[in-house]
Amino acid sequence: MAEASPLVPEERNLIDGKLVGASNGGTFDNINPATEEVIGVCADGTKQDIETAIAAARRAFDETDWSTNQAFRSKCLKQLCDALDRSRELFRSVVVAEAGSPLLLTHAVQCDGYIDAMPYWAELAASYQYERDLSDIQFMGQRQCRIMRREAVGVVGAITPWNFPLYLNLCKLGPALAAGNTVVLKPAPDTPWCATHIGRLVAEETDIPAGVVGIVASSDHQVGAVLSSDPRVDLVTFTGSTETGRRVMAAGAATIKKIFLELGGKSAAIALDDADMGLVAFASSMVCTHAGQGCALQTRLLLPRSRYQEGLELVQAAFEKLAYGDPTDPSKLMGPQVSKKQQERVLGYIEKGVEEGARLVTGGGVPAHLPKGYFVEPTLFADVDPDSTIAQQEIFGPVLCVIPYEDDDDAVRIANNSIYGLSGGVYSASVERSLAVARRIRTGTLSINGAQWFDVDTPFGGYQQSGVGRENGVMGFEEYLETKVMGVPPTD
């Protein structure tokens, strides 16, 4: 086993500028999903705790100049960037230990990728043009000037899942704070320390005023639900399952909250009949990255009937040689599912796939050589009915569904046969032909022949039930801004 950096716990929440335990003294266990060992505990935030954090965020927004002092915000965010930079190795070990993330991924978006990206938000806080003139209009024979001003929405409630815990917390805190909001973050119970460590850095290594950032970890999902119903919260930014997203949206309706949702996916990769099947097979096995716990992974593979057998055999070979297991081993791209519950959920879907008549080509169970930890074998299904449960629902495990198609129109129809619309891919010898197909797919991001699209300045989000709004980039920043237009008499 490779040597890991020392793991440092952070048990305290950040509420009103103070690092504190839960108001009732409660804690919950943080479990390493690769070993099933309790690595420590975390303050089990209560409803009272999150309400205190919301009150502090409201006060900080209403009574300090945080929302209007761009230079100060930018300075504070730079301090946070520097603190994150100094804490890379700490976050690397936390992400691996609490999320079961492969160490390899921490050198990309799971850790270094977004720590490197954070200065983007510090710079945007200062450089964004918050006010600009609109064109003049004529009103009852009089010229009128107009100014459009963008200003912070107010108190933001941020709710995040566990699969990319550092990235997902930072990609909400970065733009929301840069835009001048105050934020209460409720991380997933499976991965509390990524968030509580950010809270510690905010408290100890930045001048961010008390209340501007609140971090409330809790084992109780209903503590997060307070953010979607409390009238003092103006906007909820949520990343998680579509099912929970619906609840957040419904709860926010009573106070007409702005709701920004990054939800699930069931993305399709389409191999056109002239595709490089070796490349398709390799790329398809990447669905097992982080044990399939990625919203944008391409979990359906559409193969042309004319090359179905050839493609399937190559994908099977790629699946069967996948290295997986101990996430601290730098050669592995796949570790465990995050929890026993997720492991059982994935195994349940595999059972359902078999029941509904899909052909299990490889995998399908708990690997015999990994009895400890919440592992599931890389699993490949062929001849999957595009309307069946495993082709329609998000499994969030290392499971690929291979579906045959007749021609390009049929492939587009099957790819779009989904409530989701997050990502996808097209493979062909012709980029033009790929682009023509990609333009017909109803998703927020697409990759041609495996080309990468993700970056901090690039809008990411979903069509249909994959979400509302876009994260990252100027578009993502503007999700956290209100718009005010002021009519002004001409002065010239």
Q: Give contact residues for ligand NAD (rule: CB under 6 A).
A: 159-163, 186, 188-189, 221, 224-225, 228, 239-241, 244, 247-248, 262-265, 295, 394, 396, 422, 462, 467
Phi first, then psi: give them for residue 251, nearest 5 degrees: -70, -30
Q: How far is the CB of 88 from ligand NAD (least distance, A)?
A: 22
CA torsion sign for 292, 298, 300, 303 is negative
Judge whether 128 and 151 are in contact, CB under 8 Å: no
Closest distance to ligand NAD from the beta carbon of 188 (Å): 4
H-state helical runs in 331-383: 340-355
Evaluate whether 36 touches 373 at the Cβ level (below 8 Å): yes
Tell me whether residue 479 is one of the annotated catalytic residues: no
CB of 46 vs ligand NAD, minimal distance in Å: 14
Reading the block at residue 27, the tokens are: 């804690």
Between the alpha carbon of residue 418 and those of residues 44, 223, 406, the distances in Å are 37, 31, 18
Helices 192-205 and 165-178 cross at an angle (nearest 10°) of 40
For residue 462, count other CB atoms closer than 10 A to its CB.
Answer: 27
Nearer to ligand NAD, 269 or 280 (CB): 269
How many Å apart are CA 303 and CA 387, to the nearest integer?
A: 16
* Residue 213: closest CA among 157, 276, 139: 157
Give me the least distance between CB of 218 and ligand NAD, in Å please: 8
**Shortest Cβ distance from residue 225 to ligand NAD (Å)?**
4
Measure Cα distances from 112 to 84, 330, 451 in Å.
Answer: 10, 15, 20
Check: CB of residue 361 under 8 Å from CB of residue 317.
no
- Smallest gap from Cβ 82 to ligand NAD, in A, equals 27
In the set 11, 295, 394, 479, the catalytic residue is 295
Please confirm, yes or no, whether 262 is among the known catalytic residues.
yes
User: Is-contact 473 136, C-beta < 8 A?
Assistant: no
Q: Which residue is nearest to ligand NAD (CB)?
A: 240
- CB-count exposure of residue 453 (10 Å: 0-12, 13-18, 19+): middle
State both tokens at 435: 């682009």
CA distances from 120 to 174, 184, 249 (A): 9, 21, 29
* Active-site hit among 10, 98, 262, 471: 262
Residue 304 CB, nearest approach to ligand NAD (Å): 28
Task: Work out the number of other CB atoms within 10 angstroms of the CB of residue 368.
Answer: 7
Residue written as token pair 């690092």: 19
What are the Cα distances from residue 217, in Å, to 18, 155, 158, 186? Answer: 14, 18, 12, 6
Say which residue the tokens 């291979």 belong to.
Answer: 402
Are residues 364 and 379 in contact, defined by beta-carbon separation less than 8 angstroms? yes
38 contacts 31 by C-beta, under 8 angstroms: yes
- Which residues are part of the catalytic machinery? 262, 295
